[in-house]
Amino acid sequence: MVALCLLTSGVAVGCADTDDTAGTTDTRSAGQLLNDANRTMKALTSVTIETDTVSGMGNSRSSTLRTDLKVRCTYEVTETTGLELEQRRIGETDFIRGNDIYFEMWGRETVPAMREKPWLKSPVSSAVGADALADCAWPFSSSAKATKGEPTEIDGKPVIPVEVPNENVGDGTDTFYIAAEGKPYLLKVAYQGQHHRATTVFSAFNAPFDVRPPATADVLDLSSLPEDGADE
């Protein structure tokens, strides 16, 4: 994932044994709850993941990832810096549309031709960190340091919170909110740290999902550009 998204995805959930929860009187341990949520989420055919992050400097970033959790997804990002990015990943190909601020922060050589088409086409294998692109997969992983909280509600839905130290960031905690009725979906992850806070919300479980490439006339294939093209 993109670096800022790692604030809430650096520690996620593990393997599982059952499909359904037993309600708010659930007697499972924190680890078992995370394991059940993990298997449920990994089995999805599609999901929408919305993340809002605020840094200690007051800068914010909002993103929406719609994904099959494998090789097809769409990703939209806006920042208070003015950056705007839209991505469509289909198999081994990325289609990228960004504004001027995105290209200024992109970290790669640009040429005037890249401004003449709204979309750029590039192999997934060419993506680098500065591109700020998303992966269609989501890093669900286990943790042995989970603590179970008291049952509560999110938007009227009963959930069981599980707190896990975010070892990737080092100074914060992720709270995973797991559905307490029906399938144990992971509904929300809230990260609270010394310098950042972030909220990730999961929705549209198994909703119909399709990703199509932009119109050919609107796409510039980056592989068609000369490797020694002049900087813009």
* Residue 226, phi then psi, degrees to nearest 5: -65, 140
Angle at the Cα of 154 from the Cα atoms of 25 and 141, rounded to 5 degrees: 75
* DSSP per residue, 151-192: -EEETTEEEEEEEEEETTTSSEEEEEEEESSSS--EEEEEEE
pLDDT in tens, 210-229: 999 999 999 999 988 876 54
- Please compute Rg for the chain using Cα positions: 19
Give the pLDDT confidence of 77-94 residue by residue, as tens digits: 999 999 999 999 999 999
Instruction: Tally the residues of the chain.
Output: 232
For the entire predicted model, the pTM comes to 0.85
Phi-psi category of residue 107: left, alpha or beta, with phi > 0 → left and psi -120 to 50 → alpha: left
- Strands 219-221 and 119-123, how do they pair? parallel
